[in-house]
A and B are shown apart, each in its own frame.
Chain A
Amino acid sequence: MGKRTPLYASHVAAGARIVDFAGWDMPLHYGSQIEEHHAVRRGAGMFDVSHMLIVDVRRAGARPFLRRLLANNVDKLTLPGKALYTCMLLPDGGVLDDLIVYHFAEDDFRIVVNAGTADKDLAWLSLQAERFDAELSITPRRDLAMIAVQGPQARPAVWQAVPGTEEATAGLKPFSAARIGEMLIARTGYTGEDGFELMVPVKAAPFVWQALAEAGVKPIGLGARDTLRLEAGMNLYGQDMDENVSPLESGLAWTVDLASARDFVGKAALRALQPVRQLTGLLLLDAGVLRGHQKVRTPHGEGEITSGTFSPTIGKSIALARLPLQSAAGEVVEVEVRGRRLRAQVVKPPFVRNGKILI
């Protein structure tokens, strides 16, 4: 038996197929992964993401600490409630994790990290905090659960399900959050659709989940979470990037602030490195399904698929692949799929945003 979120019983009651994910017993799907995928693109779906770890970084020195620790610049966060996507790098430039950091006040930040990396992230944060400033507090918040509600109907569904939230969040811009008592509502997500991520006290989570279900929001498993994020062109830590690759070769250069004078962990290593690969998209032209680790042959050398799947929205297989830097959108490459060579076209992600096919 793995670790269980406060919503485990809700998943079982809804008929979920439970699988192990990073040591957690999580729902893979509740019947049909493809129907769940479409439910998010067309209406509203909810994901239990309580296995991810919320960490509060507080007290004096919080901002300078994060300024040094994160590859994106927390100084972009000036308004309370603003959020930023960033990598946390190792000194050699490898990606320790990717995360979202929320800003509430100069001495009050919150980060949300991946489930599979939670332990090493906490150890890293604690070690760095000791070196940095004794005043700093690093507090994991396992007393909070997290529910992502995503899709074109997601925000009205949350407003209907949780009284009092509309007033506080109707004016919320993307990548912004509002606190309502112990609850945090952020206009963020991992699907390429509009929606919210709700952080709520553990004891309230089953009631919020139930209220959302009654407002017509469908429960969505990890299976559809993966096809949705891949269509949205979003990286999955451990597949599309990890400690062994640079963010500059992982499609994440836009999140790395190399221009400013600010120093951060990993900066010197990244400045010394000339990227020779890129993370980009593939659309399979032949019949079949692209999968992680398949070899890609391009006119400029070999590459590798990092994440591949069947795209329910497009009806074809798509992938993220690490290819030679020279490969450009439109180029046709060959992928070795189970002993056959299939043709695929290089395309620039995202594949789908807000319900629309972009490639």
Chain B
Amino acid sequence: MQIPADLKYAKSHEWARLADDGLVTVGITDHAQELLGDIVFLELPEVGKVVARGEECAVVESVKAASDIYAPVAGEIVAVNQQPVDRPEMVNEDAYAAWLFRIKPDNAADINDLLDADGYQQVIDAEE
């Protein structure tokens, strides 16, 4: 199971990356896709939607179960990735490449409140 060191993580199993353009890209972790199993349906937010931190803003459904995806930082949804909507198994194949949406954060520094790779590893260890 991969937990890239250059990403930030939420306890609810989203990863987030702050890019130079100030936008935060969000997806689900490798651990999350493994728990869910074969993913068959994604419901992504509308572009322009304003989300609070921790707000439900997307749904990932596997054959087995539906899982809510929460916004790791507050801000506005400025882009969604249509590719995994059309081919949901992309998330199983590479959860860090198959990003789900981008947020223009109200405050870019909020990303520092998320876990680093070590902190996220501890969250997973505590679950098992």
Contact = CB atoms under 8 A, between A and B. Distances in A.
B43 A33 contact: no
Interface stretch (B17-25, B47-55, B58-66, B114-122): B58-66
A288 B62 CA distance: 10
B37 A310 contact: no
Contacts of A244: none
A33 B38 contact: yes
B37 A291 contact: no
Interface of B: 37-38, 40-41, 43, 59, 61, 63-64, 66, 92
Interface in A175-220: none
A289 B38 contact: no
Contacts of B43: 288
Contact of B40 (A28, A310, A338): A310
Contacts of A317: 41
B66 A310 contact: no
A288 B85 CA distance: 11
Which of A17, A310, A317 has the most chain B CB atoms inside 10 A of its CB?
A310
B64 A223 contact: yes
Interface residues of A, number: 17
A17 B37 CA distance: 10
B41 A338 contact: no
A343 B43 CA distance: 16
7 contacts: A17-B37, A34-B38, A223-B64, A289-B41, A309-B63, A310-B63, A317-B41
Contacts of A169: none
Contact of B66 (A17, A34, A338): A338
Classify the secondary structure of B's interface with A.
Answer: strand
A288 B41 contact: yes
A251 to B, nearest CB: 23
Interface string A308-346: 011010000100000000000000000000100000000
B63 A312 contact: yes
Contact of B63 (A17, A223, A338): A223
Given A288-B43, A338-B59, A223 B66 contact: no
Interface in A286-317: 287-289, 291, 309-310, 312, 317
Contacts of A17: 37
Contacts of B40: 34, 289, 310
B33 to A, nearest CB: 12
Interface in A8-44: 17, 28-29, 32-34
Nearest to A224: B63
A289 B64 CA distance: 10
Which of B37, B61, B63, B92 has the most chain A CB atoms inside 10 A of its CB?
B63
B24 to A, nearest CB: 25
A227 interface: yes
Contacts of B38: 32-34
A317 B92 CA distance: 19
A33 B59 contact: no
A34 B61 contact: no
B11 to A, nearest CB: 22
Contacts of A223: 37, 63-64
B82 to A, nearest CB: 13
Contacts of B61: 288-289, 310
B41 A33 contact: no
Given A32-B92, A289-B66, 8 more contacts: A17-B37, A28-B37, A29-B37, A223-B63, A223-B64, A287-B41, A288-B43, A291-B66
